[in-house]
Structures are given as structure tokens and as C-alpha cells.
């Protein structure tokens, strides 16, 4: 009875190295997936903040334009649109990683005797790779 120990020696070492390498790759992959999830959640959070900020800016713009005074003329409404709303933004009292929203108000033309204006708010939140921008527009008539 001869035992062939020499052939079987070291097989545990090969299996152990194989398991360590495979577990290392698995841990690396899971870390990468976790990083990606964190990145997506941050973008989603910043996107929601930017969307709500743009929405609030549009609501602020509407409070500047309405109610229209009964004596207001078309040129007065146009002036309110271009001077009061365009380039302005509501004052921010909340500490957010966002810049002040940019508002524009443009005369888009006339249809059936009604003059239409487009109010657009754009908000940017975050910085660097994690910067998101959201825009909202509202159409108003004189």
C-alpha cells in the first residue's frame, strides 16, 4: 500500500488562493454597486430640490403678475413681465446647495385677441459631477 501524498499536497493552498481571489472580486463589485446607488440617490435628491425650487420660482412670478389691475394696459403687463419677473428671483431663506433660480418672461404672441406670455424658471442644485438642472415653464395670458 503506497500512499501518494506528494500529488495531493498543496491542493488546499490552491483552493484557498482561488477563494480569496474570487471573494476579492466579489467585494470589489459590491463596493462599486454601492457607490453607484449612493450617486443615484444624491442625484435624485438634488433633482427634486431643483424641481421644487423652479416650481416655487414660477409661483412667485405669478404672484408678481396677477392680479392684473383693471387699468393695466397691454404695454404695462409687458413691462411687468420683462422688468419685474425676467432676471428676478424670489429671496431664498432655506439653506440648500442650489443657486438662485433664473426667471424669464417672454411675449409669445397673440391668438384670438389674447396675448400669451411664457414664464420659465430654471434651478441648478449641486456642484461638479453631481450638478442637476430642472426647468419649468408656465404660460399665462393677459
Instruction: For the chain, give every domain's residue range.
Output: 5-141
For the stretch 62-76, pLDDT in tens is 888 887 777 667 778
CB 103 within 8 A of CB 57: yes
DSSP category for residue 67: S
Provide Rg for the chain, Cα atoms: 30
CB 119 within 8 A of CB 107: no
Task: For residues 59 and 54, give the distance between their C-alpha atoms in angstroms, rounded to a whole number.
Answer: 9
pLDDT tens for the chain, 142 residues long, are: 555 555 556 677 888 888 898 888 888 877 776 666 677 888 888 999 999 999 999 998 888 888 777 766 777 888 888 887 887 777 776 677 888 889 999 888 888 888 899 999 999 998 888 899 999 999 988 8
Cell 385677441 belongs to residue? 113
Measured from the Cβ of residue 58, the count of other Cβ atoms closer than 10 Å reads 21
Total-model pTM: 0.68
CB 18 within 8 A of CB 10: no
Amino acid at each position: 500500500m503506497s500512499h501518494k501524498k506528494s500529488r495531493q499536497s498543496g491542493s488546499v493552498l490552491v483552493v484557498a488562493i482561488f477563494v480569496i481571489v474570487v471573494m476579492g472580486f466579489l467585494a470589489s463589485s459590491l463596493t462599486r454597486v454601492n457607490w453607484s446607488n449612493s450617486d443615484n440617490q444624491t442625484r435624485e435628491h438634488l433633482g427634486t430640490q431643483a424641481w421644487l425650487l423652479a416650481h416655487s420660482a414660477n409661483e412667485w412670478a405669478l404672484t408678481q403678475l396677477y392680479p392684473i389691475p383693471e387699468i393695466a394696459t397691454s404695454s404695462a403687463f409687458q413691462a411687468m413681465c420683462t422688468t419685474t419677473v425676467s432676471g428676478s428671483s424670489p429671496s431664498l431663506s432655506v439653506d440648500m446647495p442650489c443657486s438662485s433660480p433664473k426667471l424669464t418672461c417672454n411675449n409669445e404672441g397673440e391668438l384670438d385677441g389674447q396675448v400669451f406670455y411664457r414664464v420659465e424658471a430654471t434651478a441648478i442644485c449641486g456642484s461638479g459631477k453631481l450638478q442637476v438642472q430642472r426647468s419649468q415653464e408656465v404660460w399665462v395670458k393677459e
